[in-house]
Amino acid sequence: MELTLSEKQMLQGEFGPATRKAMEILVALGTIYQAEKMIPVSSVQVSGVSYDNLGEAGLDFLSEMAAGGGKAQVLTTLNPAGMDIEDPTSLGISPEFAGQQQRVIDAFGRMGIITTCTCTPYLTGNLPHYGEHIAWAESSAVCYANSVLGARTNREGGPSALAAALTGRTPAYGLHLAENRAPSLTIQVKAQLTENDEFGALGLLAGRQIEMRKQNRVVYIQGIQQASLENLKSFCASLATYGGAGLFHMQGITPEANLFAPTADAVEFSQADIQSAARSLNDESAAEIDFVSLGCPHLSILEIARVAELLRGQKVKKTFWITTARPTRQMAERMGYTAIIEEAGAVIAADTCCVVAPIQGRFHTLATDSAKACYYAYGKNKMKTRLMSFDEVVYEALK
Ligand code: F3S
């Protein structure tokens, strides 16, 4: 792979051991994917932040990179951690876990990474524009950045995203190249979708089709008349989870859709298909719901306003976590939404979520509007799941 003079200097260790290690990671990645060169990135989002996923080995790696003089060269933010960093005990997290999680955050902080922990960086100031090359790691955010914003990123792993942050570079392959952004499958939607859980069910159906074909994983979607930011973030999370997709085009909605035509390979989904996909995430054998959560991906301020409206003057009867980014929570505090939610007995937590927090064994059945949360609640945390609409999730907490 062709490297510029400064990239060669990074590789030779002239900018310190952490930068050398970072460039070694990127060169290895670029070699595997036959990239011809590196390209500059302007924004990074790093995953592998929860100590629950990182463990001691991950923490050691981060501490080593910080001690080796690693410094973020571009705007870099973090994926959710395993706790609310400013209020760990609000979620029943053990002091031992909280201590190790804090060391992780401190290591990132020493590298000049902004310790805002969210899977919706695009809602909190890390917002790339059309055509911008970036290196993001969280799968739902990658899908959103490529598809809805028209930025260009591969789905990075934690180490490769950190390496991009410390060098300001990423290998030029995959979704950075225009020729890899064309769709290979068309999904025709013959249904009216309005709720997040319905868009999540569509993501599940489309994802299964992608998995069956093993092509380039880019789909072209027709038939969606309208989709809110919240619908799209839900769809992105589901499509990335069930189909490993990093990019889709939605006719009339996403910015690159008009560059492409529908493909010959096409499948159609009806309202009944959507309903049946949603039902497949409802475990009918589930015992009573004992955990309710909204915020996968992290809630927008509009969604928090809706929760507050529904909870005003009421008391929840189940454990109810509402998860969001710290800056969004600060807006919610200013607007009085947090006070309403907390008076109702629900928890509004920043920096974390119901998947990356260490909760295995604490709950049996999760109610959520997120198809992605269902996947991980079952797979990672061994819970049964019930998928319902956003408002129904709130009503469930009040039952
Ligand atoms: Fe975000 Fe956690 Fe869901 S990182 S997309 S809220 S699994």
What's the CA gap between 262 and 222, in Å, rounded? 8
Helices (H), the chain: 5-11, 17-32, 51-67, 95-110, 139-144, 158-167, 196-213, 229-243, 271-279, 301-311, 326-334, 337-343, 371-379, 390-398
Instruction: Give the model's pLDDT for residue 105.
Output: 98
pLDDT score, position 287: 72
**Cβ(353) to ligand 1 under 6 A?**
yes
Give residue 284's pLDDT band: very low, low, confident or very high (50, 70, 90): confident
Output the average pLDDT for the chain.
97
**Distant-in-sequence, close-in-space partners of 341: CB < 8 Å, separation ≥ 6:** 304, 307, 308, 311, 322, 332, 348
Residue 93 beta carbon below 6 angstroms from any ligand 1 atom: no
With bands split at pLDDT 50, 70 and 90, how would you rate the model's confidence at 214? confident
Cβ–ligand 1 distance for 289 under 6 Å, the answer no
Percentage of residues of the chain with pLDDT beyond 70: 100
Alpha-carbon distance of 338 to 341, in angstroms, equals 5
Tell me the percentage of the chain whose pLDDT exceeds 90.
96
Instruction: Give 96-150 pLDDT, tens digit per residue.
Output: 999 999 999 999 999 999 999 999 999 999 999 999 999 999 999 999 999 999 9
Q: Assess whether pLDDT exceeds 80 at residue 368.
A: yes
Q: From the CA of 260, how far away is ligand 1's center (Å)?
A: 30
Q: Please give the number of the atom of ligand 1 that sits closest to the Cα of 140.
A: 5
- For ligand 1, whether the C-beta of 49 sits within 6 Å is no
- 8 CA from centroid of ligand 1 (Å): 37
- Residue from 287, 233, 315, 281 nearest 386 by CA: 281
Query: Model confidence over 103-115: pLDDT tens digits?
Result: 999 999 999 999 9
Give the dihedral sign, CA 133/134/137/138.
negative
Instruction: Tell me the average pLDDT across 170-174.
Output: 98
